[in-house]
């Protein structure tokens, strides 16, 4: 049993370009009948077929010119698209390399942000920061340990 997709005809691709169609009844001779009077059947048939062939050739030539124009339009649009894709790929590569350079700095920040979601961590962090700011730092200044540490770092 065919599926519902198989039973329905597929829609045509949408296009701005007109569809070329051959005449349904075929080509008709354009030679006026008064010019064919007095011709034998073979000559009459030959002249009518030449007329049909001329119409078909004209149709084909115009169609080729029209198709060529449309292909040039599509080629130009494709070129623009390919150029845009190439530029976008270059930008993505640049962003990837920048992201690799920044990743070591972002990892601790993202870990800190994830830990910040827990209230216990926030309490300990804020408590530790306040302890350092109001207790440990003044004590280090008072004891002169910061100058000692600074001279050790500078003097080796």
Q: Can you give the residue ranges of every domain in the chain? A: 40-103, 118-156
pLDDT digits (tens, 9 = 90+) for 64-120: 999 899 889 889 889 999 999 999 999 999 999 988 888 888 888 989 999 999 999
Which two tokens mark 51? Answer: 């007329």
- Treating both helix axes as pointing N-terminal to C-terminal, what angle do 41-116 and 119-131 enclose, rounded to 10 degrees? 50
* Dist CA 36 CA 141 (whole Å): 121
Residue 116, number of CB atoms within 10 A of its CB = 11
* Dist CA 29 CA 47 (whole Å): 8
* Dist CA 5 CA 87 (whole Å): 38
pLDDT digits (tens, 9 = 90+) for 41-66: 999 899 989 999 999 999 999 999 99
pLDDT score of 2 more than 60: no
- Residue whose structure tokens are 């449309």: 70
Burial of 13 (0-12, 13-18, 19+ CB in 10 A): exposed
| Alpha-carbon Rg for the chain in angstroms | 42
pTM confidence score:
0.47
Which two tokens mark 117? Answer: 């979601």
Number of H helices, E strands in the chain: 6, 0
Which two tokens mark 135? Answer: 């207790």
């Amino acid at each position: 049993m065919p599926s519902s997709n198989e039973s329905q005809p597929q829609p045509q691709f949408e296009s701005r370009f007109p569809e070329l169609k051959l005449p349904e009844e075929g080509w008709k001779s354009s030679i006026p009948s008064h010019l064919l009077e007095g011709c034998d059947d073979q000559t009459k048939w030959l002249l009518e077929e030449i007329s049909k062939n001329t119409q078909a050739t004209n149709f084909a030539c115009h169609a080729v010119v029209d198709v060529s124009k449309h292909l040039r339009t599509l080629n130009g649009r494709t070129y623009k698209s390919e150029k845009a894709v190439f530029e976008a790929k270059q930008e993505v590569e640049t962003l990837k390399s920048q992201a690799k350079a920044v990743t070591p700095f972002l990892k601790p920040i993202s870990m800190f942000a994830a830990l910040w979601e827990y209230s216990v961590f926030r309490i300990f962090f804020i408590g530790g920061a306040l302890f350092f700011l109001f207790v440990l730092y003044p004590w280090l200044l008072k004891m002169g340990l910061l100058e000692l540490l600074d001279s050790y770092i500078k003097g080796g």
